[in-house]
Structure 1
Amino acid sequence: MWTIHRIATTGSTNADVAAAARDGAAEGYAVVAQHQSAGRGRLDRRWEAPPGTALAMSFLLRPDDVPVARWPWLPLLAGVAVVEAVRLAAGVDAVLKWPNDVLLDGGKLAGILTERVDTPAGPAAVVGIGLNVAQTADQLPPGGVSMGVVTGEFEQDTDAVVLDAVGDRLAARYEGWRAAGGDPLASGLAEDYTRRCDTLGRDVRAELPGGDAVEGLATGIDDSGRLLIATAAAGDPVAVGAGDVVHLRPR
């Protein structure tokens, strides 16, 4: 379903796809770059890697027949798709840290940033994925990992294999979710995400955008894709919809 535009370098693939969406690009428009100089992750963090060592990918979605209340599942959907793609492309098992950081051997392999874009044709979503492919250990940021470091393989055609796998799994997951009206239960997304989420069952601290924090046991994901944290205080678990989660206890 993708119309892929491959470029050597750009400021931000998400910005490129958002601009195309505002200009009327159809669903499936995608930009893939081997280097981006102004990439952004969640919470406006910078994301950059040496040229030729990582893939920056952004995909345009227009799920106009899905209730907007279910759109928060798109980042989680993308996370599941990337975990599945890594398994297909490299034969390794990655996991997710809520909401959609992809971890491999305890290090961060990929980050995902999903943004809503208002366009003349209605709201759209841009799903951006930054995936570490061939960085060496000394090229990675603290806490990062690449597929090459884990597998020891740095073939020149790795990018193509990874891109094909990500595109295939993202399309399949998206089409299944959309066919179910965005229902995470009916589409199987909620079950599959829960199975791959390494945050669940851990003691965690969620650092919220306003500066507050919630600490406790991560017990589940609610119908809106929020992380449920059981705190020491009595009462129902706290539902966290945005924030930076720190794993406090080994699983």
Structure 2
Amino acid sequence: MHIVKLNATTSTNTYLKEYARELDFKEDILVWTHAQVEGRGQRGAIWESEPGKNLTFSVFKRVEGFRADRTFYMSMAASLMVVETLEHFGVRQLAVKWPNDILAGARKICGILIETIIRDGLYGVILGVGINVNQKVFEKAPRATSVLLETGRVTDLNEVLDYFIKSFYKYAELVSQFDFARLHQLYEQQLFRKDKVSTFELPGGKHIAGVINGVSKNGKLILQLEDELLKEFDLKEIKLLY
């Protein structure tokens, strides 16, 4: 893997997308920045990160020949990469809040944003990862946490990145082998509030109760509603309240 380190950039995902338009990448590329001034999350959220305290990086991987309707398996793999990395550094009570926020207990410790590159079909994916490592105070995200807050120890960012890269290739291998059943199983084992009654918000503010049954192969959340029927929702259709 080729690693590029930047002092600052608007967004590592944006940086890689711009270069992917111009270059024909032959290898995996990871862009890591000391300061990301316009980090992005799901639903257009802004990612808060104190410069030099956390890991903010993006990885480009070519996936030519990979069916576009299977891209959520890359999201599953990315979530598992992060969970395994954080477990290694002593973080406990980890879970994946659908689709790919990583929680420690009920506090967010990592966000993942996945984007695709199209060139006469699916060409590559960019995994944008923000891991809170040594930050103590979160002014804009009061429900956030970090490796430091969870373990009481300052952790070397290079060590976390090195371990993530090992986990990246472990789970990317499952994707390349089309071992989707295994990925799906491992992902659902980590799914936050699976098989528990939870409250969800629909567009417009209506609240409903349901039980998370799992996730479909194309990434939709499967809920068992009060009438015991199963219904699928995408990210724009429902929000878990917790």
| Change beyond 3 A, Cα 1:91–1:200 | closer
Q: Which amino acid aligns with 2:105?
A: D
Deviation of 1:138 after TM superposition, in Å, equals 5.5
| Further displaced range: 116-125 or 226-235 | 116-125
| Further displaced range: 8-17 or 67-76 | 67-76
| Change beyond 3 A, Cα 1:61–1:205 | farther
- 1:187-202 matches, cutoff 5 A: 188-202=182-196
Give the fraction of aligned pairs with identical amino acids, expressed as a percent: 25
| 1:177-209, Cα deviation, whole Å (9 max, x unpaired) | 1112xx521xx1111111111231123344467
Count of paired positions: 240
| Change beyond 3 A, Cα 1:41–1:210 | farther
CA distance in 1, matches of 2:89, 2:96: 17
Aligned to 2:15: 16
CA distance in 2, matches of 1:72, 1:14: 17
Aligned to 1:245: 239
CA distance in 1, matches of 2:8, 2:86: 23
Q: Which amino acid aligns with 2:44?
A: D
Contact 1:86 1:165 in 2 (8 A): no
Contact 2:80 2:187 in 1 (8 A): yes
Deviation of 1:72 after TM superposition, in Å, equals 1.7
Structure 2 counterpart SS, 1:108: strand
Aligned to 1:162: 160
Q: Which amino acid aligns with 2:187?
A: Y
Q: Which amino acid aligns with 1:60?
A: F
Structure 1 counterpart SS, 2:5: strand
| 1:44-95, Cα deviation, whole Å (9 max, x unpaired) | 1001211111111101122112221111221121011100011123354521
Measured on the aligned residues, the alpha-carbon RMSD in Å equals 2.3
CA distance in 1, matches of 2:151, 2:30: 28
Aligned to 1:177: 175
Aligned to 1:39: 39
Contact 2:75 2:100 in 1 (8 A): yes
- 1:40-189 matches, cutoff 5 A: 40-90=40-90, 92-119=92-119, 122-137=122-137, 141-155=141-155, 158-180=156-178, 183-185=179-181, 188-189=182-183
Deviation of 1:224 after TM superposition, in Å, equals 2.4
| Change beyond 3 A, Cα 1:116–1:172 | same
CA distance in 1, matches of 2:122, 2:214: 33
| 1:155-190, Cα deviation, whole Å (9 max, x unpaired) | 4xx10111011111122101221112xx521xx111
Contact 1:89 1:165 in 2 (8 A): no
Contact 1:229 1:239 in 2 (8 A): yes
Contact 2:54 2:134 in 1 (8 A): yes
Q: Which amino acid aligns with 2:74?
A: L
| Change beyond 3 A, Cα 1:203–1:34 | farther
Deviation of 1:41 after TM superposition, in Å, equals 0.2
Deviation of 1:27 after TM superposition, in Å, equals 4.1
Deviation of 1:122 after TM superposition, in Å, equals 5.0
| Change beyond 3 A, Cα 1:17–1:115 | same
Q: Which amino acid aligns with 2:9?
A: T
| Change beyond 3 A, Cα 1:196–1:30 | same
Provide structure 1 residue ranges, at least 5 long, that are not aligned to the other structure: none
TM-score by length of 2: 0.89
CA distance in 1, matches of 2:69, 2:173: 18
Contact 1:22 1:118 in 2 (8 A): no
